[in-house]
Amino acid sequence: MTGYVEIFEVGPRDGLQNEKREIPVSEKIELVDCLSNAGFKRIECASFVSPKWVPQMAGSGEVLMGIKRANGVRYAALTPNMRGYEDALAAKADEIAVFASASEGFSRANINASIEESLDRFAPILEAARHIDLPVRGYVSCVTDCPFDGPTAPSQVAAVADRLFAMGCYEISLGDTLGKATPDSIARMLLKVRDVIPVGRLAGHFHDTSGRALANIDAALSLGVRVFDAAVGGLGGCPYAPGAAGNVATEAVAAHLERLGYDTGLDMDVINQAAQMARSMRGEQEAHV
């Protein structure tokens, strides 16, 4: 196997949002600055959600304004509403992201809105971003399993992904939020989604709760997916998904892809340095529990 596979680094946002220790802005900036030297094309490092609901994302504007931006790297921010969109613009985010769920139960628990209501909420964000050519990425959560509704129908994932793509999202990241997916359930889901969205516009976002993230990446690779989200040091999880462990670790994904013969363009020495930094953030948190 040969070819390029991109790893989209989400550790500074999706990774840190679930850590219990209050991590200073300076540490977040240090982590992003380290990752900026690793060869990533995209790093998600901010989330303009209410600090009341996700306190770890307080100071996101300060992070974006404080990092040393590397040439060729886009710095992304999550924007759940128009206020978040405006804050992201003020902080000079290079791209933004909106997030929907493929299951009603998770949508209501996560953002207190139905799937349809969440999509309606994103419409003005995507319209505003289109007018200034700001890239918008779309996340779909619970693509195989939901902690409230059980298994997610692949057709439902395809329907939500199709809506986000039609609204203007340049890429759709498909999230195994609980980490319960298997290669078979990932394949069934992707076959449905590929019917409505070109595979080159899809990304995999797999948690390693059950130790199957790399196997699920293999299943997605076999169906043409060439972008995968990962969090350095395996940080993360989801505050609204009980039992969800961390995202699959960037260093594990990069090493796995290299073994398969794919090029990631990443400097493993820098990745390992960043992973050590990320794990120390978690370790300090655990020492205070």
User: Which amino acids are annotated catalytic?
Assistant: 238
The type of residue at 130 is: R
Q: Are strands 150-151 and 145-146 parallel, antiparallel or unpaired?
A: antiparallel
Residue with tokens 């796995």: 256
Query: Is 110 in a helix, a strand, or coil?
Result: helix
Burial class (CB in 10 A: 0-12, 13-18, 19+), 28: buried
Contacts of 138 (CB under 8 A, 6+ apart): 97, 98, 99, 100, 161, 164, 165, 167, 169, 171, 172, 173
Q: Residue type for 212, please?
A: R
* DSSP 8-class letter at 200: G
| Residue whose C-alpha is closest to residue 221's, from 180, 170, 262 | 262
Q: And the tokens for 201? A: 């516009």
Report the alpha-carbon distance of residue 158 to residue 192 in Å, rounded: 6
Contact call for residues 175 and 186 (beta carbons, < 8 A): no
> d(Cα 35, Cα 16) in Å, to the nearest integer?
14
- Residue 206 is which amino acid? F
